[in-house]
Chains A and B, each alone.
Chain A
Amino acid sequence: MKDDLKYIDKFYKNSLGGYEEEAETAVWGKLRWTLFWMRYKWYIGLSSMVILLGLGYFVSYNFIEDSPLSNEIVINTNTEHEFALVANQIIEPTDNQEVKNVDGITETPINNQVENEINLVSEEINTNHTENNSLIGFPNTSENQEPIVVNEQIYLSGISSLDFDMNLSTSPDSNLMGHNRRTDILPPDVRKQWLSVNLYAGPSYSESTLTGFESEYLAFRNLNESNSIGWSIGSDLRFHLKNWIITSGINYSVYNQSRSYNHSYEEYSPENSYFEYDTTWVWIFDPPDYGTPRVAEVDSSWVEVYENVTIDNSGLNQLKYFEIPLMIGYRFNSNMFAIELNTGVSAGFLVYSKVEVPDFSNNNHIVDAGQMNSTMFNFIANASIYYYLNRRTSLFISPYYKQNLQSVFNENYPVKQQFKTIGVNFGVNILF
């Protein structure tokens, strides 16, 4: 029974079967970002986590650590203390009866009954503590623990207990240990950290190079465009392999270039145009035997006035990229300072562009260049100086050079434009 309406199906299939519809340009814009996110979501997520962890650690280390609460957490565990002391000590038979901490600063005497001085020297500890601990079977509680080395036999019964903060043993890098720490030089074990985060920002200065089209056009652009200050902000995750460093991360870079295109021309102004009465002509009709002469026509010259009109197309051409660097570097350590040399490449992803340039056919007409390269690869190199504030945190200043390896425009655009950028980043480095 329903077959009678099948012609409806056929009609619609014929009419709409191959139907095509034009999409808004925004569709690709949305899709591009979705694809970008799909492709790099893990990287972006990981970088964000690293940034957040780095910030969290930085904040907690520099602000929360000084809380008086940490000083109140004192656990008196005399028995454990004695055992731990023996397990990690070497007694050196000297005349003095005082305890030196790992950095050689004099501390409270342990006990008068102990006739041997206990010297606690960090270098010896580093070389001996593992062996001693393994013999006694007492595990280290921390990699950075600074055990006491005993060079001579010592009996538990001969040592009286001290008030002891267990956190000194379990967390020697805490604030409780802070008063024993030397701050004038960089502790050697700091250099054994293998992971760090850089957070930085700074200004940059980009110089543009134009090639690939008529020299007159390029000269016109060079004449009317000038270099301008940009900036960047970012975070790097760094792997330390001895003195070698592999760096990656994410940063947001802004390239600016000033343009000053002014087009002046003369435009006819009817309002200001006028009759020049000094040039008035009067035609008089006065034939013979007609009588009184008659004015046949009066005319004056119409003076056209043109006004100067200036169209100001000045402004800022701007490109913004998310950039993911990959660099390798070498680090020279010197007490509280470190110098690093890094070089590598970065992949940039265009997130914003506003590039207005003269039209190829009419240089006075300024148009949006449009055809931008969505990705950009750069060569980068930097030399950084780090200053250690403490064991884990350092400030740095990093002058850098960056050069586009391809044009900011895509291959269909006749003009090639590349930026050479110098800049300086200021930041903080946090070791893990």
Chain B
Amino acid sequence: MNITEKELIRLCTKKNARAQKLLFTNYYSSLLGICVRYGKSKAEAEDVLQMGMIRIFKRISSYSGKGSFEGWMKRIIVNVAIDNYRKNSKYYYHHDIDELNGEPYLVSDIPDNLEVNDILNTIHQLPTGYRMVFNLFAIEGYSHKEIAIKLGISENTSKTQLLKARRSLRKKLMRLNKIPQSLNLKIKQT
């Protein structure tokens, strides 16, 4: 079916079921790709996707046409993922950022031969709070201030969790590497 994005949006605004399905079919892969980064499992990601699509269909009439429609949808999906996290998380991790001073830092310790699923698994293994902060900061490009507001945590907590997430990810990536670490790592003294 040849239909423009504008026409598709117009039909979805009118709650046309066929258009809604077409919209879902066109974008679910990329939107689910976002959801799996925030969820702990694919099932959780699919739930987030479903909630996100419902919110998209509810608010599609508010899309002004400025900017990318896909980007607009992705922002909604991210917000739904955040809401889902806030609804389900009972504990936040608060750490003093000074605790992390003095750690050795490693560069170029990422294997070259990693599959996307392996990379995704390393994110899934992160604690939920770390995962949220890392996704928002590193991939979505939010600032710590924005993350703090969205997740209801302090900026320092956001920074701490980001740092811990990075360190945890680095270790997980190193474990994935089949090359002996001694050959692959360059230790930088702090």
Please state if B50 and A34 are interface contacts (CB–CB under 8 Å).
yes
Which of A1, A5, A18, A374 lies in contact with B33, CB distance below 8 A?
A: A18
Please state if A19 and B116 are interface contacts (CB–CB under 8 Å).
yes
Counted as pairs of residues, one from A and one from B, with CB atoms less than 8 Å apart, the total is 107
Please state if B32 and A1 are interface contacts (CB–CB under 8 Å).
no
Which of B17, B32, B119, B190 lies in contact with A15, CB distance below 8 A?
A: B119
Q: Which residue of A lies closest to B29 (CB)?
A: A20
Which chain B residues lie closer than 8 Å to A8 at the CB level? Answer: 110, 138, 166, 169-170, 173
One of B20-28, B77-85, B87-95 at the interface: B20-28
- Smallest Cβ distance from A183 to chain B, in angstroms? 50
Please state if A31 and B32 are interface contacts (CB–CB under 8 Å).
no
A4 at the interface (CB under 8 A from B): yes
Which of A5, A13, A17 lies in contact with B170, CB distance below 8 A?
A: A5
Which chain A residues lie closer than 8 Å to B119 at the CB level? Answer: 12, 15-16
B45 at the interface (CB under 8 A from A): yes
Please state if A12 and B30 are interface contacts (CB–CB under 8 Å).
no
Please state if B50 and A4 are interface contacts (CB–CB under 8 Å).
no
Chain B 104-147, CB within 8 Å of chain A: the 1/0 string?
01111010001010011001000000000010011100000000
- Smallest Cβ distance from B31 to chain A, in angstroms? 9
Chain A 1-31, CB within 8 Å of chain B: the 1/0 string?
1101101110111011111111110011011
Q: Which residue of A lies closest to B170 (CB)?
A: A8
B9 at the interface (CB under 8 A from A): no
- Smallest Cβ distance from B190 to chain A, in angstroms? 7
Q: Which residue of A lies closest to B30 (CB)?
A: A20
Which chain A residues lie closer than 8 Å to B46 at the CB level? Answer: 23-24, 27
Which chain A residues lie closer than 8 Å to B73 at the CB level? Answer: none
Q: How far is the CA of A39 from the CA of B163 in the complex (A)?
A: 45
A31-B24 contact, Cβ under 8 Å, with A19-B36, A19-B116, A23-B46: yes
A32 at the interface (CB under 8 A from B): yes
Which chain A residues lie closer than 8 Å to B58 at the CB level? Answer: 38
Which chain A residues lie closer than 8 Å to B169 at the CB level? Answer: 8, 12
Please state if A27 and B166 are interface contacts (CB–CB under 8 Å).
no
- Smallest Cβ distance from A194 to chain B, in angstroms? 32
Which chain A residues lie closer than 8 Å to B137 at the CB level? Answer: 9
B101 at the interface (CB under 8 A from A): yes
Please state if B138 and A9 are interface contacts (CB–CB under 8 Å).
yes
Chain B interface: which size bin? 35 or more
A12-B17 contact, Cβ under 8 Å, with A19-B36, A20-B32, A34-B50: no
Chain B 1-32, CB within 8 Å of chain A: the 1/0 string?
00000000000000101101100110011101
B150 at the interface (CB under 8 A from A): no
Please state if A13 and B138 are interface contacts (CB–CB under 8 Å).
yes
- Smallest Cβ distance from A270 to chain B, in angstroms? 46
Which chain A residues lie closer than 8 Å to B162 at the CB level? Answer: 2
- Smallest Cβ distance from A42 to chain B, in angstroms? 13
- Smallest Cβ distance from B73 to chain A, in angstroms? 14
User: Which of A1, A18, A19, A34 has most chain B Cβ within 10 Å?
Assistant: A19
Q: How far is the CA of A31 from the CA of B45 in the complex (A)?
A: 14
Q: How far is the CA of A12 from the CA of B141 in the complex (A)?
A: 12
A35 at the interface (CB under 8 A from B): yes
Q: How far is the CA of A11 from the CA of B139 in the complex (A)?
A: 10
- Smallest Cβ distance from A342 to chain B, in angstroms? 27
B57 at the interface (CB under 8 A from A): yes
Q: How far is the CA of A1 from the CA of B188 in the complex (A)?
A: 12
Which chain B residues lie closer than 8 Å to A2 at the CB level? Answer: 159, 162-163, 166
Q: How far is the CA of A351 from the CA of B112 in the complex (A)?
A: 49
Q: Which residue of B lies closest to A27 (CB)?
A: B46
Q: How far is the CA of A38 from the CA of B58 in the complex (A)?
A: 9
Q: How far is the CA of A22 from the CA of B33 in the complex (A)?
A: 8
- Smallest Cβ distance from B159 to chain A, in angstroms? 8
Which of A4, A21, A27, A30 lies in contact with B188, CB distance below 8 A?
A: A4
Please state if B123 and A16 are interface contacts (CB–CB under 8 Å).
yes
Which chain B residues lie closer than 8 Å to A20 at the CB level? Answer: 29-30, 32-33
Please state if B37 and A19 are interface contacts (CB–CB under 8 Å).
yes
Q: How far is the CA of A18 from the CA of B119 in the complex (A)?
A: 13
B42 at the interface (CB under 8 A from A): yes
Which of A5, A13, A19, A375 lies in contact with B17, CB distance below 8 A?
A: A375
Please state if B107 and A7 are interface contacts (CB–CB under 8 Å).
yes
- Smallest Cβ distance from A332 to chain B, in angstroms? 40
Please state if A31 and B138 are interface contacts (CB–CB under 8 Å).
no
6 interchain residue pairs of minimum CB distance: A4-B105, A9-B138, A20-B29, A19-B33, A5-B166, A21-B32
Known A12-B123, A23-B28; further 10 A-B contacts with Cβ < 8 A: A2-B163, A7-B110, A9-B138, A12-B139, A15-B114, A15-B119, A16-B123, A21-B42, A21-B45, A35-B57
**20 A/B residue pairs, CB under 8 Å, sorted by A:** A1-B105, A2-B159, A5-B167, A7-B107, A7-B110, A9-B137, A11-B110, A15-B116, A16-B33, A16-B37, A16-B123, A16-B139, A19-B33, A19-B37, A21-B33, A21-B45, A27-B46, A34-B54, A35-B20, A375-B17
